[in-house]
Amino acid sequence: MNIFAQSSFTIKPSFFYTKGNYSNSDHSNSFAGYLSGTWNNVDHVILAFDDLTISGNGWDYSQNNYVAGIIYNIGSYYLKLNYLKIIGNYSEGTSTFNYTDNSNVANLDVVKGNYPFYYGLGYSYCNQSGIPNINSHQANLRFEYIPHYKVLIGLMGAATITSDKRKLFALAGKINYQPFYDLLLKTNFMFGERALFMDPDLLIIFNQTLSQNLLLGIQLEYAFSRNAKLVGSFQHTEFESYQINYLIGGLKLNFDL
Q: DSSP readout, 204-230?
A: EEE--SSPEEEEEEEEEEEEEETTEEE
C-alpha 202/C-alpha 254 separation (Å) is 17
β-strand partners of 63: 52, 88
C-alpha 34/C-alpha 58 separation (Å) is 32
What amino acid is encoded at 116 in this protein? P
C-alpha 129/C-alpha 185 separation (Å) is 38
C-alpha 74/C-alpha 58 separation (Å) is 52
β-strand partners of 4: none
C-alpha 81/C-alpha 142 separation (Å) is 16
C-alpha 181/C-alpha 164 separation (Å) is 48
What's the topology of domain 75-256?
Answer: Porin (2.40.160)
User: Looking at residue 21, what is its pLDDT?
Assistant: 97
CB atoms within 10 A of CB 104: 14
User: Looking at residue 212, what is its pLDDT?
Assistant: 96
C-alpha 18/C-alpha 31 separation (Å) is 7
What amino acid is encoded at 239 in this protein? F
Contact, 140 vs 108, CB < 8 A? no
Residue 95 exposure: Cα atoms within 13 Å on the Cβ side = 8
Hey, where are the domains in the chain?
75-256
> Nearest Cα to 180, choosing from 213, 210, 218, 150?
150
* Phi and psi, residue 186, nearest 5°: -125, 135
Q: DSSP readout, 56-92?
A: -SSEEEEEEEEEEEEEEEETTEEEEEEEEEEEEEEEE
Tens-digit pLDDT profile for the chain (257 aa)? 444 445 678 999 999 999 999 999 999 999 999 999 987 766 789 999 999 999 999 999 999 999 999 999 888 899 999 999 999 999 998 888 888 999 999 999 999 988 999 999 999 999 998 888 999 999 999 999 999 999 999 999 999 999 999 999 999 999 999 999 999 999 999 999 999 998 988 888 888 889 999 999 999 999 999 999 999 999 999 999 999 999 999 999 999 88
